[in-house]
Amino acid sequence: MFKLPTTATAPFCPSEVKGSVIVAPGAPLWKKLLQFAGPGLLISIGYMDPGNWATDIEAGSRYGFSLLFVVVLSSLAAMVLQCLAMRVGIVTGRDLAQLSRERYSKPIANAQWLLAELSIIACDLAEVLGGALAFHLLFGCSLMWGVVFTAFDTIIVLGLKGKNFRDLEAIMLGLIATIGVGYIVELALVKPHWPAVAAGLVPSIDVLSSREPLYLAIGILGATVMPHNLY
């Protein structure tokens, strides 16, 4: 049986993660929420990956707004699973990988580890290629140099891991804000047909009756529910 730990995180986490968040009693509600927004910002980055965007863009270019309900339902499923994973972490002080190692037999734990490594490799491949393509589109460099630049900015982020955790959260907030502004500008330029958007939010089995939209729906689900966020 697990005992409630004195710290709610693994021992290798920075001291700021283990510590308490101090909020002034008379602080306004928005300031209180902002104090606890850091973990949510870091988790949300995991859902904004090139594979997710590529799958959604492919679905939208082929079938318009008809698969929009799949995005909504997948996001709701991801929120539920993320909430359950966080509750397990808070109560036990361990992540899902540690719990799997402790709860399952060694062969099953090793099999899970192998599957996790393969998933990480597949996910990293999409991230690296997506970053390289982004550098290529923005600056016109070759894909090889795009991979080099992507590896370099990854090292920079890893270097911030042992520094002030709030600085990393601030960087993530800036990136998310940039993406949000980009979406707002895109909506203003595209001017979508809002009745069609509303119709796409209504679940429809008929849309998934064909093979291609069904595969795209499965791809949207797989790109939205991110296992590395849960672990």
Over its length of 231 residues, how does the chain's per-residue pLDDT go in tens digits? 444 444 444 444 555 555 556 667 777 877 777 777 777 777 887 788 777 887 888 888 899 999 999 999 999 999 999 899 888 988 888 888 888 888 899 999 899 889 888 877 877 777 788 788 888 888 888 889 988 998 888 888 777 766 666 777 777 788 888 888 998 999 899 889 899 999 999 988 888 888 889 998 988 888 888 777 887
Model-level pTM greater than 0.75?
A: no
pLDDT at residue number 1: 45
For residue 164, what pLDDT is reported? 66
Do residues 141 and 135 make contact, with C-beta atoms less than 8 angstroms apart? yes
Question: Quick one: pLDDT at residue 181?
Answer: 92
Distance in angstroms (rounded) separating the CA atoms of residues 55 and 220: 6
Token pair for residue 31? Answer: 């300031």
> Alpha helices of 140-210 — where are they, by DSSP H?
143-159, 165-190, 194-200
Per DSSP, the three-state class of 69 is helix
Q: What's the half-sphere exposure (Cβ side, CA atoms, 13 Å) at 138?
A: 9
